[in-house]
Chain A
Amino acid sequence: MIAADRIYNVPSKEPRSLLAGVLALLVHIVFIAVLIFGFNWKDEHPESMIVDIWQNLPQPVPQPAIKQTAPPAPPEQQSRPVSEPKPEPRPKAESKPQQPKPAPTPIQASPPPPKKPEIEIKDKVEKPKPVQKEPQPDLEAQRKKAQEQEAREKAEADRLLREQEEQKKRELEAQKKREQEEQRKREMEAQKKREQEEQKKREIEAQQKREQEEKARLEAQQAAARAQVASEIGKYKAMILAKIKSRIVMPPDLPGNPVTEFNVTLLPGGDILDVRLRKSSGYPAFDSAVERAILLSKPLPLPPDPALFNEFRNLHVTVHYLE
């Protein structure tokens, strides 16, 4: 009877306990996966902050780019002046000599008219000679009448002839001398023209030289101004670094020479808007010490010229542990 009672009280099998265990494990796997994804998301979130840094990084990147472009710019401009003046003077030298050449030709064309009158004068001078010769036949007819007179006249004629010949010779010599003189004058004039042209050329060259010198002076002044600006920027950057370094309380006994890099965003006046770790040294203590030093050292020294502030808007601060 008791055993018969017992029959009815056999505990029933619990349904699907194994499935329950599998489901429990599944729930935990899902939870851990969510946790990992959550932590991965957190890991990515700083990357999106790095993306923020990327937004800043393009600014730092242009910064060096500006710095790089700015320094190269002077050499380019220096090279330009070197190269540009050369092409410029050449066309000038080529064109100006060409312009002077046509100018001399009309001058050479104008001199001939004066020569013609000179020739006319010669003709006029020569004309009196036949006039003097005409009387000579008259004298010879008289000589036929009077031989004595003829002899005398012949002697006189000879003398006259001789004199005429001598005169002709003299005139010829004079003409030659005149021609020579004219040639000399022409040569002189040509020389003068040449000299004038040369002078003009020299003047042009001198002007070009002056212009080049002026350009060189301007470039030198600009370069000097740039050098001043660059030196001022460098000076203030050194001052900023020095001020930051003076505030760093270095953590003791770090192995090696770790380097930490920060991107510092400045406000006009030297206030610090933002400090971002760009590259960790691997030692959080060192990173944080530098970060605190940067924050402590505000206001940072800035050049009084507000135009230079753009160079300091995004500073890239690199600090070495051993220095």
Chain B
Amino acid sequence: MNATVTQDLSLFHLISSASVFVQLVMLALLLASLMSWWYIFRKWFLLREAVKQSDEFEDNFWRGADLNVLYQRAIGSRYTSSSMERIFVAGFGEFSKHKPGANADMMMDSIRRAMQATYQREMDRLESHLPFLATVGSVSPYIGLLGTVWGIMNSFRSLSSITQATIAHVAPGIAEALIATAMGLFAAIPAVIAYNRYVSDTEKLATRFESFMEELSNVLQRRVPTNQE
């Protein structure tokens, strides 16, 4: 019992004295955790920005601003424009390309398709890396468990050569093995939480984009007859 007290149980000692396989597992988990946290923060900033820009654009749009002015401003800042702005640019650009006298139904179909394509692309951008978070959240506990099981197997195997087995012989091995599980859980828990949160956020944005597309196509359709006249 107390014999373990005298042994060095510091974190670095435990990690450095672990077997190579467990060390590899821990390294992989550390990388996965780093990546997942990086994506967590990236997605957090991205989605927050997307929501903020969508709010601003919708405010401008429904305040009755001139569609041409909005279009020119969006083209001018196309590298920093928001997803909703891009959808608007795609739809209004397609609308302005059509010559007067064209078939109204065909024109509306092409506008819808252009907006749909941009919407897909934007959703793809917003949803990027979410599968990575899902993978880290679901797999890293298993990876950590594998390292733990491996470490415990080793510590028990080394126990077989000792005639007098005490918990002091097993404890360091189990402790260093359990670090792998701890790291796996540390990587998985935030990844799962972030994944669930970001999926719901992107779904909310997707519904906002879809409803904006419907509303914009209605506005443009109202303008078609005036062009024909």
Question: B112 on the interface (CB 8 Å rule)?
Answer: no
Which of chain A's residues has its CB closest to B82's CB? A12
Which of chain B's residues has its CB closest to A251's CB?
A: B164
The answer on a CB contact under 8 Å between A24 and B81 is: no
Residue from the list A8, A32, A43 in contact with B9, Cβ < 8 A: A43
CA distance A35 to B10 in the complex (A): 9
- Closest-by-CB residue of A relative to B14 is A39
Q: Which of A1-28 contact B (CB under 8 A)?
A: 1, 4-5, 7-17, 19-21, 23-25, 27-28
| A245 within 8 Å of B (CB atoms) | no
Interface residues of A: mostly helix, strand, loop or mixed?
helix
Q: Are A11 and B6 in contact (CB under 8 A)?
A: no
Residues in A266-285 with C-beta less than 8 Å from chain B: 276-277, 280, 282, 284-285
Supposing A8-B86, A28-B34, A251-B164 touch, asked if A284 and B81 sit within 8 A by C-beta, the answer is no
* Bound: A1/B33 CA distance, A: 45
Where chain B touches its partner, the secondary structure class is: helix
Tell me, in angstroms, the Cα distance from A10 to B41 when the chains sit together: 23
Most A CB atoms within 10 A — which of B1, B7, B97? B1
Cβ of B79 under 8 Å from chain A:
yes
Contact pattern, A 230-241, Cβ under 8 Å of B = 1, otherwise 0: 000000000000
| Interface status of A200 (Cβ within 8 A of chain B) | no
Q: Is B125 an interface residue (CB 8 A)?
A: yes
> Given A36-B10, A43-B9, A43-B10, A7 and B49 touching (CB < 8 A)?
no
Alpha-carbon distance between A199 and B49 when the two chains are bound, in angstroms: 123
In the complex with contacts A8-B118, A13-B80, A21-B6 CB distance below 8 A:
no
A251 touching B45 in the complex, CB below 8 Å, given contacts A9-B118, A36-B11: no
Mask of B184-217 contacts with A, CB within 8 angstroms, 1/0:
0010000000000000000000000000000000
User: Are the C-beta atoms of A284 and B168 separated by less than 8 Å?
Assistant: yes
In the complex, what residues of A have CB within 8 A of residue B97's CB?
1
Interface residues on A, range: 35 or more
Q: Total number of A-B contacts with CB less than 8 angstroms?
A: 121
In the complex, A21→B34 CA distance in Å? 8
Given contacts A16-B45, A24-B41, A28-B34, contact A287 B121 (CB under 8 A): no
Q: Is B16 positioned at the interface, with any CB of A under 8 Å from its CB?
A: no
Q: Does A57 make an interface contact (CB < 8 A)?
A: no
The 0/1 profile, CB within 8 Å of B marked 1, for residues 157-171 of chain A is 000000000000000
Which of B2, B44, B114, B166 counts the most A-chain CB atoms under 10 A from its CB? B2
Nearest CB in chain A: distance from B95 CB, A: 13
Question: Are A284's CB and B45's CB within 8 A?
Answer: no
CB pair B42–A10 under 8 Å, yes or no, is no
User: What is B's interface to A at a CB cutoff of 8 Å?
Assistant: 1-7, 9-11, 14, 30, 33-34, 37-42, 44-46, 49, 75, 78-82, 86, 89-90, 93, 97, 114, 118, 121, 125, 162-164, 166, 168-169, 182, 186
9 new A-B contacts at CB < 8 Å, known A12-B125, A21-B38: A13-B80, A24-B34, A27-B37, A39-B9, A39-B10, A46-B5, A280-B5, A284-B166, A292-B166
Q: Which 7 A-B pairs have CB atoms at the shortest separation, nearest pair first?
A: A20-B41, A24-B37, A277-B2, A46-B5, A288-B166, A284-B3, A20-B42
- 23 example contacts (A-B, Cβ-Cβ < 8 A) are as follows A7-B78, A8-B75, A10-B79, A12-B81, A12-B86, A13-B79, A15-B49, A17-B45, A20-B41, A23-B37, A24-B38, A24-B41, A36-B11, A39-B10, A39-B14, A251-B162, A251-B164, A276-B2, A280-B5, A284-B3, A284-B7, A285-B166, A289-B164
